Amino acid sequence: MSIRSAVVLAAGEGKRLRPLTTHRPKPMLPAATKPILEHVFDALVDAGITEITVVVGYGRTHVQSHFGSTYRDASLDYVIQDKQLGSGHALLAAESEVSEPRLVVNGDQLVAQRIITDVREAHVGTDAIATLGLIRDAAVEEYGGVILDDDGQIAEVVERPRDDRSYHLNAGVYAFEPALFEYLRGPEPHLNEYSLVDGLANAIAADESVRGIPSDGIWIDATYPWDLLDVTATLLESNDGVESRVSPDAQVHESATLLEPVVIGPDCVVGPGAVVGPTVALGENATIGANAVVENSVVDADARVGANATLVDCVTGRRVRIGAGSTVVGGPGDVRVGSTIYEDAPLGAVIADRVHDDGGVTYAPGTIIGPNADLTAGTRVAGVIDGGAEVQ
């Protein structure tokens, strides 16, 4: 029997993506012009999934109000993970909804429909308690690695492996039997978190069959703010991604220049003499002023970029106001995320929700501006500016 139902894990915040996640969860951040989670739903529906249970937690109202009870004729039901205690704990929150084999997919990573289809087809008719989607020849150091036997059985799953063995990447797409829930509960959680990977390791230790299926196609995660630039570039440049296009509801002045690939959402305005692209996504109702230049950037919904402004390697939040003549000079730059400095990150600036600059502001490479900050005309900003700050 073909699997038609899926659980999507969308309860996490994405702390390393702050300040973009200050007011919304990581799955709702933009990938091109749509939330990451919407791309996940598209892949599931395109693979034939008709029932989706969404595990929500941090910022859950953003997810529920955006999607409602259906998406492209697939039903959406929500369960709440009150405390974010790991991916296994999130899946356990949906246990009451699961009585037959299902898929489970991370809601904050982009994954190709092909991977989902391959996992579903590989699981049906086997004795496996779970089947994992795997990516060949991918870097696994920051994610999860899998040791796969010649017969397709998974011998070991390892978080952030550091040895030189031959790993496949765990793509975060699983088909599983309800019996897996018992292995998610014990033994004791690692660092007070119930990891889905630990549950799979428990099942393997108990001689349960856990299989892996190598596949191909897009798999990309946004761990840090600058990764949203890579996400959009991958979507625009991949055959599995988003076509370069301009919404029919957008207004692009005849003297403006669009350098593909670009994607421009509904109700956007691109003013006279402006240059947009390459590798730019403009969210719904964004405005690019006269003679402004926007390159390799993600400009989120309702943002305004003033005349003669320049944005290079920039990620904005929603309702941002970039004044006339302001300049994001582009990366690389040193970026502080929490207590860690990432040298030469490919980032011009992150400008979070509702930041307002009065024009003529210069953003040093790697600048991070928190939400609701106000930047006085003519200032130069660098490093991390706290949310709500007034910079003069």
The domain spanning residue 194 has which CATH number? 3.90.550.10
Is 239 a member of any domain? no
Q: Are residues 68 and 213 in the same domain?
A: yes
Half-sphere exposure of 197 (CA within 13 A, CB side): 21
Is 228 a member of any domain? no
The answer to whether 35 and 28 have CB atoms below 8 angstroms apart is yes
Residues written for the chain: 392
CATH code of 323's domain: 2.160.10.10
Q: Are residues 382 and 258 in the same domain?
A: yes
Exposure letters 353-365 (e unless 16+ CB within 10 A, then b): bbbebbbbbbbeb
Q: Are residues 382 and 289 in the same domain?
A: yes
* Res 330 pLDDT > 70: yes
Q: Are residues 181 and 57 in the same domain?
A: yes
Cα 248 to Cα 268: distance, rounded to the nearest angstrom: 10
Q: Are residues 206 and 128 in the same domain?
A: yes
Is 285 a member of any domain? yes
Q: Are residues 17 and 150 in the same domain?
A: yes
Is 113 a member of any domain? yes
Cα 212 to Cα 216: distance, rounded to the nearest angstrom: 13
Is 237 a member of any domain? no
Express each pLDDT in 272-300 by its tens digit: 999 999 999 999 999 999 999 999 999 99
Is 359 a member of any domain? yes
- Report residue 361 as tokens: 């502001």
Express each pLDDT in 208-251 by its tens digit: 999 999 998 888 888 899 999 999 998 998 766 677 789 999 99
Q: Are residues 95 and 205 in the same domain?
A: yes
Domain span including residue 31:
5-221
For the sheet with 280-282, list strands across it: 245-246, 262-264, 280-282, 297-299, 314-316, 349-351, 367-369, 384-385
Element (H, E) at 202: helix 196-205
Q: Are residues 265 and 171 in the same domain?
A: no
Cα 341 to Cα 284: distance, rounded to the nearest angstrom: 33
Mean of pLDDT values over 343-354: 95
Q: Are residues 256 and 214 in the same domain?
A: no
Is 278 a member of any domain? yes
Report how many domains make up the chain.
Answer: 2
Q: Which of 166, 186, 221 is the last residue of a domain?
A: 221
User: CB count, 10 Å around CB of 77?
Assistant: 13
Look at the pTM and tell me if it is higher than 0.95: no
Is 231 a member of any domain? no
Express each pLDDT in 27-39 by its tens digit: 999 999 999 999 9
Q: Are residues 323 and 206 in the same domain?
A: no
pLDDT classification of 190: cutoffs 50, 70, 90 = low
DSSP string, 300-338: -TT-EE-TT-EEESEEE-TT-EEPTT-EE----EEEEET
* Res 123 pLDDT > 90: yes
Q: Are residues 168 and 274 in the same domain?
A: no
Q: Are residues 216 and 253 in the same domain?
A: no
